């Protein structure tokens, strides 16, 4: 896992230890630079801020070319924008699930699975 917020990395490490997961690593950093370190992923889970993915992150996802992308979004507008950019690179939304985690507000979380149609 790559996370830009240091406290979230500490929480992830503690959670992995608590669940006896041995085949997982976490580091603090910008996920848009993962491909520079020779990493390969079958599935990438992203949870960008409300402003959505940076252009560098979209480019990194395209270069990393995972089989699946799980996109967790708190902003339908930036999810739509990023999904359109990813569609240009061959991914399509195959599943989507909204979650009303903030009742009586206009906010809604959405989790989407994107896959490439040639896989």
Tell me if residue 112 is catalytic: no
Task: Check 28, 74, 108, 112 and give the catalytic one.
Answer: 74
3-state secondary structure the chain: CEECCHHHHHHHHHHHHHCCCCCCCCEECCHHHHHHHCCCCCEEEECCCCCCCCHHHHHHHHHHCCCEEEEEECCHHHHHHHHHHHHHCCEEEEEEEEECCCCCCCCCEEEEEEEECCC
Q: Which residues are catalytic?
A: 74
């Amino acid at each position: 896992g790559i996370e830009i917020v240091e406290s979230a990395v500490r929480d992830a490490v503690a959670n992995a230890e608590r669940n006896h997961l041995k085949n997982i690593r976490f580091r603090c950093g910008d996920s848009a630079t993962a491909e520079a370190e020779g990493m390969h992923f079958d599935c990438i889970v992203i949870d960008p801020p409300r402003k959505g993915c940076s252009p560098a992150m979209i480019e990194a996802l395209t270069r990393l070319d995972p089989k699946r992308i799980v996109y967790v979004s708190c902003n339908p507008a930036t999810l739509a924008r990023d999904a359109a950019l990813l569609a240009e690179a061959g991914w399509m939304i195959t599943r989507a699930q909204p979650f009303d985690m903030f009742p009586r507000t206009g906010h809604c979380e959405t989790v989407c699975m994107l896959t490439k149609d040639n896989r």
